[in-house]
Amino acid sequence: MSKKNPKDKTVSLPGHPRPSSAAWANEAGLLAAASPGFLAEHGATMPVPPPGVVQSRPEAPCRLAEIDPDAPGSSDGKAQAEAELTEVRGRIRDLQERLYAERKRSLLVVLQAIDTGGKDGTIRHVFEGVNPQGCQVASFKTPSAEELDHDFLWRYHRQVPARGMIGVFNRSHYEDVLIVRVKQLVPEAVWRPRYDLINDFERLLTLSGTTVLKIFLHISKAEQKERLDARLADPTKNWKFDPADLVERQSWDAYQGAFQDALTLCGTRLAPWHVVPANRKWFRNLAVARLVADTLEAMDPRFPEQTADLAGITVPD
């Protein structure tokens, strides 16, 4: 009879002669039942993108220069789009209520854009009227000392929406393959492997019940100049102007290359990218709203079934 290796620290759960890891694997069915999002029970169905929006395809290169930020061919005029936006926002509100009541899954909306790309305006227009109890927005600036003491995904994972919630990332984990690359804050040997780590992170979220909707707001360099000029000319918008934006503008081509690589390398089947032409704000708002509403409809959240018998219950005076 062989003797047990004294260095073997494997622990068995009570009633399980096998290692704890094997016991966990054996109970995968119970875990799935306890966590409806686990093992992608509901799947990650992405709807067909609205007209003018380009959805990434796995392994296919994304070339931003070939995507017109003015959304050519759009048949919707500004007035018509704004009217439709009101209707689509109503869909989002209704679906968000069902998602919140169901409390089994969540939706994470990732917004990325170059400076002045319109992330703040998009959030304000698309989520107007949504119950704030069921929606949270997280913005990511320069990492704090505490955040830098952890892995690069730590601060983002903390902000992932809980079950029943819609979460919006105003900038996101992609900053760690964008600004850190362009400004050479870390060597390529550090940021290059992060594409695979990001894909693993998003797969983890999806298999845990969080649908990841990634949106890139695509504007032209000329449009960025117009928006910066407007901030300088209008005293009520001066507070939005940051001289650092002019420094970043000098790296336009480098940022476009970094965005393209992120869209190409992280445009997966479970979490594809959606490139929204964003020079026209009215088109941008409607396109993003449609994406959010259509994604929620594809998730198909449902009100919980009533288990108690309410037929004989009366409310006392």
134-193 pLDDT, tens digit per residue, is: 999 999 999 999 999 999 999 999 999 999 999 999 999 999 999 999 999 999 999 999
Structural domains of the chain in order of their starting residue, each with its CATH number: 38-222+255-299 (3.40.50.300)
The Cα-based distances of 95 to 42, 160, 194, 263 in angstroms read: 16, 19, 34, 28
Q: Indicate the pLDDT class of residue 47, thresholds 50, 70 and 90.
A: confident
Distance from C-alpha of 197 to C-alpha of 193, rounded to nearest angstrom: 7
Distance from C-alpha of 291 to C-alpha of 109, rounded to nearest angstrom: 10
pLDDT of 59: 82
State mean pLDDT over 120-141.
96
Q: Indicate the pLDDT class of residue 39, thresholds 50, 70 and 90.
A: very low
Query: Could you give the strand order of the β-sheet that contains 166-170, starting from the edge strand earlier in sequence?
Result: 54-55, 273-277, 210-218, 106-113, 166-170, 135-139
226: enclosing H helix or E strand: helix 221-233
Question: Is the pLDDT assigned to residue 36 strictly greater than 50?
Answer: no
pLDDT of 179: 96
pLDDT of 3: 46
Distance from C-alpha of 181 to C-alpha of 283, rounded to nearest angstrom: 31
Q: What is the mean pLDDT of the chain?
A: 86
Distance from C-alpha of 282 to C-alpha of 78, rounded to nearest angstrom: 6
Distance from C-alpha of 292 to C-alpha of 308, rounded to nearest angstrom: 33
